[in-house]
Amino acid sequence: VALLFLATGALRINDLFLYTPDSARYLIWGNSIARGAGYLDDTQPEDLRYVIHAPLYPALIAPVEFLFPMQAVPVKVYTLLWGLLALLLLYLWLYHLFGRISALAGALMLGFNPGFIVYSTEVLSEAPFVAFLLLVLFIMARSEARGALSRPEWWTLLAATSLIGLLREAGVVVTVCIAFSLWPRDRKKALAVLACGAVCIGAWYMRNSIMVGAPPGSPGGNAALVFQHFVTGPDESVITEIVMRAWSNVSSYVVHLGGMTFYPLYGPQHMLLLEAPVDIPAVLRWSVVIVLGALMVYGIVRTVRSGKRGWLPVIVGAALFVAAALYPVRDARFLAPLLPLMIVFLLTALTAVGRNIGQGGGMAMAAAALVVLPNLPALTGLISLNGRYNSSPAALHSSLAGRETYPYYYTQPWGLLRAWMDEHLPQDAVLATPAKELAVVAGGRKVMELDPGLP
């Protein structure tokens, strides 16, 4: 399964950027760290040291950019390895909980999930975040079985919970949940987790917001967006804004959760990766979502009623969902960390039901088939279209131009643009663009980013 996941991911890698300007910024900061300049965006006419995103992912990719500066493909290969680590950690966790067959079924669900493959092959922090999350949950599950943390487990857990909030801001809630789980049996360890996490977040806040500070016109970091008005007027209270925003996001995310788990490329955002929609009958689609969704709810109920501290995944999943609901930007990728947890809840239910008939493993593999098989056409479409792009971006554009379903993701061949600029533009040219990706391929030319915050 791991080798097939790597092969599928490798066939999906290209020089494009699904998310703008996030991926380009990560590449620029990673290259700066690799050069020993710290977090610095020197691609603009005026250098900028302020970092709007969580800072750990650029540090993780810096060793790759030391060898391959400002190159998306090597970084995507490296990120794919983080996706592989997440897949292996999920298998180990499920093996610990349910045994080999159910663990294999869960690995199939994650490894052949088109959404997870997409996030593992982009310059994004989702795959490392999922790996960090599964690492801490696996360690906690092992320690619950033995009643204590070994010394290597403890130091690994402490390091992971201290850093996960620097990988994505939502990681802070994971650190709090782990401390909450440790509190009844070892308050010193719980306090250590909270203290180390607070020190890391506080040190970064001191560097980024106080010592450097947001530039004029900038909305500030991602966390600052939570308290700004997006769905209500400026005269409304912050509480009203947050409540209305949460209601709007939850109503959308509830639908996305089923689609992300079982048919993850059927949302409007990820349809941009396919040449045309994959036609799966609505009856089949909704039947699978309803049946497996009901089983997941049953798995959550069984976990909560177990009376053990094994309900930690439920608390973590709920906290991550609330964090996504409160954030003003609505994006299906914020739900990506919930996918492995949903797989765990599904297998919890199937194990309970199957135990009564002696077919727990068989039911788990049947569920894996229900999840994986309908997604194979989407995976095939991803690989096919990506192969055509890598073979000839211009030929792909000419063959699909004019179609309403043309995926704009493939209309920005940055490799070709780099070659064109090297031939036609002077080295001292200053460019202005709303596409941050241009700075990645500008060959050292200064690029002014046009956005609403620019005076």
CB neighbours (10 Å) of residue 310?
17
Q: What is the pLDDT of residues 74-112, one digit of tens each?
A: 999 999 999 999 999 999 999 999 999 999 999 999 999
φ and ψ of 448, to 5 deg: -85, 125
Compute the Cα dihedral for 88, 115, 254, 329 and give only its sign. positive
The most distant pair of C-alpha atoms in the chain lies apart, rounded to whole Å, by 73
Residue 236 has pLDDT above 80, yes or no: yes
Q: How many CA atoms lie within 13 A of 432 on its CB side?
A: 3
pLDDT value, residue 440? 94
- Cα–Cα distance, 240 to 191 (Å, whole number): 33
Query: Residue 248, exposed/middle/buried by CB under 10 A (0-12, 13-18, 19+)?
Result: middle
**Residue 245 pLDDT grade (very low, low, confident, very high; cuts 50, 70, 90):** confident
- Cα–Cα distance, 179 to 193 (Å, whole number): 6
- Cα–Cα distance, 161 to 153 (Å, whole number): 12
**Location of structure tokens 């959308």:** 252
Residue 269 has pLDDT above 70, yes or no: no
Q: Note whether 365 and 101 are within 8 A (CB).
A: yes
> Which region among 80-94, 206-220, 270-284, 317-331 has the lowest average model confidence (pLDDT)?
270-284
- Cα–Cα distance, 391 to 372 (Å, whole number): 28
- Measured between alpha carbons, how far is residue 155 from residues 144, 150, 168 in Å? 16, 9, 21
Residue 406 has pLDDT above 90, yes or no: no
Mean pLDDT of the region 234-253: 85
Pick 90 or 360 by higher pLDDT. Answer: 90
Q: Note whether 206 and 200 are within 8 A (CB).
A: no
Q: Note whether 139 and 359 are within 8 A (CB).
A: no
- Cα–Cα distance, 233 to 324 (Å, whole number): 21
Residue 372 has pLDDT above 70, yes or no: yes
**Residue 232 pLDDT grade (very low, low, confident, very high; cuts 50, 70, 90):** confident
Q: What is the DSSP letter of 206?
A: I
Mean pLDDT of the region 222-229: 73
List, as one string, the DSSP characters of 375-426: GHHHHHHHHHHHHHHHH-HHHHHHHHTT-TT--GGGG--HHHHHHHHHHHS-
Mean pLDDT of the region 389-412: 82
- Cα–Cα distance, 159 to 157 (Å, whole number): 5
Mean pLDDT of the region 170-182: 94
Cis peptide before 407 (omega within 30 of 0): no
- The distance of Cα 370 from the centroid of its chain, to the nearest Å, equals 24
CA torsion, ordered 162, 30, 439, 395, to nearest 10 deg? -100
- Cα–Cα distance, 340 to 87 (Å, whole number): 9
The three-state secondary structure class of 446 is strand
φ and ψ of 446, to 5 deg: -75, 140
- Cα–Cα distance, 105 to 8 (Å, whole number): 18
CA-nearest of 182, 90, 75 to 130 is 90
Q: Note whether 96 and 145 are within 8 A (CB).
A: yes
Query: Residue 147, exposed/middle/buried by CB under 10 A (0-12, 13-18, 19+)?
Result: exposed
pLDDT value, residue 144? 86
CA torsion, ordered 202, 167, 136, 226, to nearest 10 deg? 70
- Cα–Cα distance, 32 to 57 (Å, whole number): 13
Q: Note whether 20 and 436 are within 8 A (CB).
A: yes
Q: How many CA atoms lie within 13 A of 147 on its CB side?
A: 0
What is the pLDDT of the chain when averaged over all its residues?
A: 88
Q: Helices in 121-264 by DSSP H: which ranges?
A: 126-146, 151-167, 171-182, 187-205, 238-262
pLDDT value, residue 371? 86
